[in-house]
Structure 1
Amino acid sequence: MLGAMESVPELAHSSATPPTAVGCCAMRRIDKFAPISCAARARPSRSAALYPSLLFRQIQFVKATMKNNSRLLGLLGLLFLLLVDSAHANTWNAGTASWFVAGNWSAPAAVPAATDPALINNGGTAQVSTPGAVTSTLRAGSGGPGTVTLSGTGQLTTSLETWIGEDATGTLNVSGAPALFVSAGEGHVGAFGTGTLNIGAGSSASFLDAVYFGEIASALGTANVAGAAAILTTTGMIVGDEGRGALNISAGGTINSNLATILGYHAAGWGTIQLTGAGSTLNVGSDLRAGVEGQAGIAVNDLAVIDLSGHTIVLAENAGSTAELIIGAMNTPAGRVIANAIFGAAGTATVVFAHSTIGYDLSPPILGTAR
């Protein structure tokens, strides 16, 4: 057994639509991270009092536009504001070199302080191998390619947002124990461009707000969390908003999402999660919503674990969406799924058992339209 069978009174029927689906569809436009039951679980808000800059207030206004009108227009406006902000950023001018050398930065020629944006867009790599690196907004891959690499005891903290692959190719590497990256605001991995977040054994990255992977149709955002004690922690995640997003967890890595994790949010969105290897774990503190309007794929095998204790995996939430959950792979042990239920909603939902484990027992009931 994967765990004790848990009752799910609100899903204990065979209807293709959860009892609260109408309310949920209305709610998700306001709060993407609300659980499918529509229980009040507000997304954490950030007070302008904490971030009093004019740029922050402008960004908040643009994000309100994104929620109520066109997300594309909103992101274009946000990109414009960030381009304006570039004029005030500490800009990387070196190749592969230390973050802490003032001469590696220009306009001004100084190591970024906590109130300074840091821009890496010349194809170079800013290396952080000791504690103490800070910035207001980290932007790697904005107007050109850029990389930031944390290693050893390296620590980097952003007081606002993190952009990896804003409109070009950006990479953030966190590798070599006990390297640590902390972002107090949202993470954008592949907004208009291609963004990659790599976390290695013994290292960690923590976002105190949501992280978006693959925001616009041409964008690609990827997180690779590989190795024992490699940890990514977020408030919530959208993987494949309007673009493509992928989470790859292997060799004992862990991703913790304190609120919902959403795959394939808009119709053009395509989100995937791949877990493999003993100790590899995805922990979600709310529902895992795969295929809200777009496409989603989840694969868990070789003793990896998806843990949604007390919550539900919702597959293909709206008509026209598709979602597939694959448990196991040929000639490998099955993975584990811990959840209240696996629920197929209004789209095309599929559960595939592809493993060679004898006597495998899937604890969560498969309900709704899933087949």
Structure 2
Amino acid sequence: MGCGPSSPEAERTREIDKDIKKGQKEDNRIIKLLLLGAGESGKSTIFKQMKKMYGAQPTDEEMVRVTSYVRENVINFMKALCDAVQDFGIDHLQSEADVQAVNELMDVAGPEELTPALAEKLLALWHSDVVQQAWRRRAEFQIIESHTVFIERVMEIADPSYHANFEDMLLVRIKTSGIRNEALEIDSQVFHIYDVGGQKNERRKWIHCFEGVTAIIFVVGLSEYDQVLLEDPTKNRMMDAIELFQEISGSPYFTEKPDRPATKILVFMNKEDLFKQKLETGPKINQIPEWKEDFDSFADIETRRLQAAGQDASEAVIGTNYFISKFRAVAPKGGEGIVFRSTIAIDPGNVRSVWNVCKIAIIEYALYELGS
């Protein structure tokens, strides 16, 4: 009886099972890449760069929205500075023209009200001594440091003929909420890339959704070592990033299991350009309460190590290595197997160069995972 011809039902069942196994195999060959990081770390900028590198060009509709957001960003940038001037009690030092410009700015309700006449006043206000005093104390309030580019170009941005370009799209601030994803073909390999909201109240909504992803790119804002969170002004941003990394790298969703290896983790130490600028003009790392206890001793040892090896022992390199050591210290097995790279998310050449190195590591890891 068992050797008789198969029934049509049994044959169909075998075909379905075969299709299911084929689909599972194909799904296993898709590399799932998760972009994580605290709010304003630059991970969404990395996401935009990767989309453009591999053919997902922004639409005309998207760029119209970006144009409006750029104008809104420059208005919010100047409002934050003017609020700080008042909070710091230095508003009495403003000239009559500055006061008039501030009053006009505070009455602006939307990006469409940024006129060339107002833009001229805002540019003068930005270069005023009082606003520059507030700018030097920017770690004490919430402001997006990279938006100096927008205020310096405010006359162009306020012109009715202005249309945002891709560089503006990289710099513009649009808060990421929830999960965005994109399927990209990279070197004949399909990558599903997920960009996840970074604010604290977003985190627990998504972590369970990504068990067993191939790799995580965790983005850190290097220049934020002296800044505090928008949602918690008592919490240092870098310290928050370290605590988030500890939670992610040690999560059972991403650590090794009997049936699969651990998720590959890469850490992008981002905003390297702003980090170097801040070290030249702003507070030093050892002046920040969270870091002053052990930074100097680390710097002494690291300086000697780098000099003995004939390597760059600049303040920025030592600072970057210091923060890398903080991330390694909270990761399982002392961060063994975790790849760290310095990045400038707004620089396409830098992102491409770093990504080309990381891409090879991810694909090799995926092949190993597929064969395990």
TM-score, normalization by structure 1: 0.28
* Structure with the bigger percentage of helix: 2
Higher RCO, Cα 8 Å, sep 6+: 2
> TM-score normalised to the size of structure 2?
0.28
More strand by share: 1
